Structures are given as C-alpha cells and as structure tokens.
Amino acid sequence: MLTIAPFRGLTYNYREGKDLSNLVAPPYDVISHEEQQAYYQADPHNVIRLILGEKRTGDSDWDNRYTRAADTFERWQSNRHLIRSPRPCLYLTAMTYDPGNGMAIRTRWGIISLVRIEDEGSGIILPHERTFSAHKEDRLKLYRACGAQLSQIFGLYDDRENTVLNACRTSADLTPQMDFQLADGTRHRLWMLEDPLLFKQVADAMREKAIFIADGHHRYETSRNYRNILRARHGRKPADKSYEFVVMYLSNMRDEGLTILPSHRMVKRVPGFQEASFLEKAENYFHIKPFPVSSSGMADEYETHKDVLQKAGLNRTSFAFFHHGGDRWYLLSLKEGAHGEMGDELHDSLKKLDVVVLSRLVFQGCLGFTREGLDDDEIFHYQSDTPRALSSVSSGEYQMMFMLNATKIEHVTEVAENGLVMPRKSTYFYPKVLTGLVFNKIDPKEIISVP
C-alpha cells in the first residue's frame, strides 16, 4: 500500500520579505552552464549553490561541490535563511503558466509530501524511463554530504473525483505563505497545511493508489540507495524512520493544468550520412512526403511543421526530419504492418511509442547506430523548444533533427503498469517542478508520524 505522510519541511524564510523568484531554480539536470552562472548571480542564497555547485580547480575529497553545498546548507539554517516548520505539514502548490502555442493559461496543482520508498517491482511507485549510473552517483554524493533531499520527485496519481486536491484546497487559507512570479510570467503559490484530520483523509484516499514517476527517476533510485546505506548503519526498526521516505510533488494525472511537451531528437553527426541513401532505407518502413524549407529558414515556419506533424500523428506514428543544408524537410509516417519489423521481443505497449519506433527503425535500422550508441551524449541531445531546435539545425550546430509529437499520458501509464521502461527523455512534463520550495532534512533518529 502507498504510504503518504506530512513532514517538517525546510523552506526559505518567507517572512524576510525577500524576492523568492531569485532563490529558486529548475531541477539540476535541465540547467545549462550559462543558466547555472545566471542563478549564481541572481542572489547569494539561490538554491543553485546546493543542487549544482560550481566545480573548482583544486577540488579534493574534503573540499568539492558536495562539501561546499553541505556547508552552505548548514550555514543557511544557522542564520535562519532556511527555517524548519515546527509541526508536520502537507504543502499545497499552484503553478499558473502559459503553455504556449496559443493555448490558454493553465494552473497545475500539486501536493508536496513524504512518500514511503518502495523496493523495485512493488507495483506501488512506477518508473517509466531508464536511468544511468553516473547521474545516480552524483546525486548520492550530494545526499550523503547534506543529509537532505533538496528536490522533489514529480509523481502522478489517478484521482477521477479529485478527492485529494479538493480536500487540500478546502483546508487552505485564502492567503498562501508563498506567492511570487518568475521572469517568464509563471506564478507560484504555496500553502502550508497543518490539519491532522486532513493528513488522515489524504493518506486514506491515496492508500490504494499507485504513483507514476513523471520526472526524477535518478533521484528516486538514489533515495532508495541512500535509504539502504542508512538502514545498514542505523537499522530498519522502527519502520517509520525518516530515511524510509522521500519527498515528492504529487499531481493528479487528470489535472487540466498538466502539459506534456515533445522531446525532439537532436543528432550532432552521422558519419557518412547521405540524404538519398537514408530516404531509400526509410521507405522500407515509412511513407515519406517532402516539403520545401522556407527561404527565411526552418524555424520561421515551425508552427506549420508542428501542425502537419500533429495531424499525421493522429492516425499513426509520424516524425518530421530536418537536416543541415537541406532544401526540404520530410514527413515520415509509419506504414501498416511496419511495427512487426521492430522485433517480437518488444512489448506491444512499447511499440506504440513514437520514440521507440524512431530508435528501432530510424536510428538503428536506417542510420546504423547500436542500442548502446543511442546513449552517447556526445551525439544525441534532446530539445523541447521547437524553434530553438530548428535554429540549431539551420546553424549547423546539429546535423539533423527528428521532430516528434508529445507522448500521450495514457501511453506513459500503460508502459509503467506493464513493468516496462521507455527510452530516456521520452516525456517532458512542463513546467518542471521548482527546486527551492521545500527541502526535506533527514535525521536518522527522527520518526515520521504516519497518519
């Protein structure tokens, strides 16, 4: 059964009147080096100093980005830049944002709480994407140095009647404890809920549900690894020790504010690439339709490209293919029966995914990459900003791009429910959950009060 619990979160001291927009940041793994420097300049207390500290010449085992994060974390608590709630809370959040593409302003609601960490295969907390050891090793070093979970894992649950969120919104005051707006216009609000009757109501409503990890797969596996380290050191009893839990941001997958963006595939180089040869091979699997590239550039007509792709994708897997120097772009639509070319060992729920079709039939079948080669970060990159992606192909920064439609939420849940995982970066849930709203300090002696 799923176990949800309130906790005594650490937050920035919102009573100081500081501009909270200068203190928060996106998850560490979507921050570029240039953005990292901008967050450093935004405020001396920006969360970047905790989640993605600078590397320095001369770093050692006793002085490095992780030890500096730990020192900063303790100092901010000592001088009360960070304050800990005196009582356990659930944290209700509302994120109001512009999804772009002419769509109306949306608000995504979420609840930040502790969730009991489950062992792999439990069927209670379900991942859907692959993870990589280097990322987990990095996060584990930060966990061990700081003794805290600094970012929420983004989880989705299914609640047709919206029972959980309605209960939390009823319990919330009219005025949130935090209310600020980022430079892009996104508004963030947070309420600290302290009602024990609410805790019981939420815990009971969630008990029979499963959580699908939307974002934070590496951090979730790291929390399990960290739990196992502390179990070996401090024991497994009593059962509700603080390290048995991880902090999550939970949102109803039926929330009208939930947006999934596509994650376009960007390719730095394909040795020996020839357009004619590639298209000849692709014709074995796809119907191919050419379109002229505008004289003003690929990015100028991205709305047209997107509309063509979305219409084609209603009936079958389709991609838009662009390459540097080309005077045409191509719509590739999967032929009837071509799913059979992907191999009998592949589960039917995976064959439905555009990203899997692209990996198997295009990258491996037509361009000659191995499965291991698809994980080469020097060659493959991912971009959800369509105009930026197209511009980077026009400029020659990337040799080619495959534009995708967004993965459907029902496909994400189907894959997870079958105990399977998608290729990396199969989904891009937007906007990302902010880092810096609430931290979870892990005291091995602390016992979590489970409703």
**Which residue would you say has higher pLDDT here, 412 or 131?**
412
Domain presence at residue 207: yes
Domain assignment present for 415 = no
Angle 302-313/386-394 helices, nearest 10 degrees?
120
Residue 345 CA to its chain's centroid (Å): 28
* 410 falls within a domain: no
Q: Treating both helix axes as pointing N-terminal to C-terminal, what angle do 217-234 and 133-146 enclose, rounded to 10 degrees?
A: 50
Average pLDDT over residues 330-346: 86
Same domain, 68 and 172: yes
The verdict on 285 and 225 lying in the same domain is no
Question: Are 35 and 183 found together in one domain?
Answer: yes
Note whether residue 192 is domain-resident: yes
- Which pair of tokens denotes residue 440? 């979870």
Digit-coded pLDDT (tens) for 28-60: 988 989 999 999 999 999 999 999 999 999 889
Supply the pLDDT for residue 126.
85
Same domain? 213 vs 122: yes
Please indicate, yes or no, whether residues 95 and 243 belong to a single structural domain of this protein. Answer: yes
Residue partners of 48: CB distance under 8 A and separation at least 6: 25, 31, 36, 39, 40
237 lies in the same domain as 272: no
* Measured distance CA(264)–CA(405) in Å, rounded: 8
Give how far Cα 17 sits from Cα of 41, 69, 425, Å. 19, 24, 38
Q: Which domain holds residue 170?
A: 4-259+431-441
| Confidence class for position 427, pLDDT limits 50, 70, 90 | confident
Mean pLDDT of 74-83: 97
Residue 419 is encoded by which pair of tokens? 């105990």
Whether residue 92 is predicted with pLDDT greater than 80 in this model: the reply is yes
User: Does 105 have pLDDT greater than 70?
Assistant: yes
What are the distances in angstroms from CA 311 to CA 5, 54, 304, 306, 430?
A: 44, 45, 11, 9, 22
pLDDT at 119 over 80: yes
Considering the entire predicted model, what is its pTM? 0.86
Where are the extended beta strands (E) located within 376-436? Answer: 380-383, 400-403, 428-430
**For residues 350 and 415, what is the distance between their CA atoms, to the nearest angstrom?**
7
pLDDT tens digits along 343-385: 777 888 888 899 999 999 999 999 999 888 888 888 999 998 8
pLDDT value of position 373: 87
Residue 46 main-chain phi, psi, to 5 deg: -65, 145
pLDDT at 295: 66
Cβ atoms of residues 91 and 190 within 8 Å: yes
Q: Would you say residue 149 lies in a domain?
A: yes
Give the pLDDT mean for 193-216. Answer: 94
The reply to whether 297 and 381 lie within a common domain is yes
What tens digit of pLDDT does each residue of 247-305 get?
999 999 889 899 988 899 999 999 899 999 999 999 999 999 999 987 666 767 778 88
267 and 253 both lie in a single domain: no
E-strand stretches of 16-105 = 82-84, 90-97
What's the whole-number average pLDDT of the chain?
A: 92
Q: Give how many domains the chain has, as a whole number.
A: 2
- pLDDT at position 128 is 67
> Hey, what amino acid is at 61?
D
Percent pLDDT > 70 in the chain is 98
What is the band of 79 on the pLDDT scale with cuts at 50, 70, 90? very high
Do 198 and 162 share a structural domain?
yes
How many CB atoms are located within 10 Å of the residue 298 CB? 25
Nearest to 273 by CA among 428, 89, 400, 99: 400
Please indicate, yes or no, whether residues 201 and 295 belong to a single structural domain of this protein: no
**pLDDT digits 0-9 by tens, 305-325:** 889 999 999 889 999 999 998
DSSP 169: H
Residue 159 pLDDT greater than 80, yes or no: yes
Residues 109 and 239 in one domain: yes
Q: Does residue 51 sit within a domain?
A: yes
Would residue 450 count as lying in a domain?
no
Please check whether residues 111 and 175 belong to one and the same domain. Answer: yes
Using CA atoms, how far residue 89 sits from 8, 86, 103, 111, 329, in Å, is: 6, 9, 34, 10, 53
Q: Does 245 reside within a domain? A: yes
The answer to whether 154 touches 433, Cβ cutoff 8 Å, is yes
Mean pLDDT throughout 423-444? 90
* Half-sphere exposure in the Cβ direction for 38 (13 Å, CA): 11
Which residue, chain included where needed, has tokens 């009837």?
336
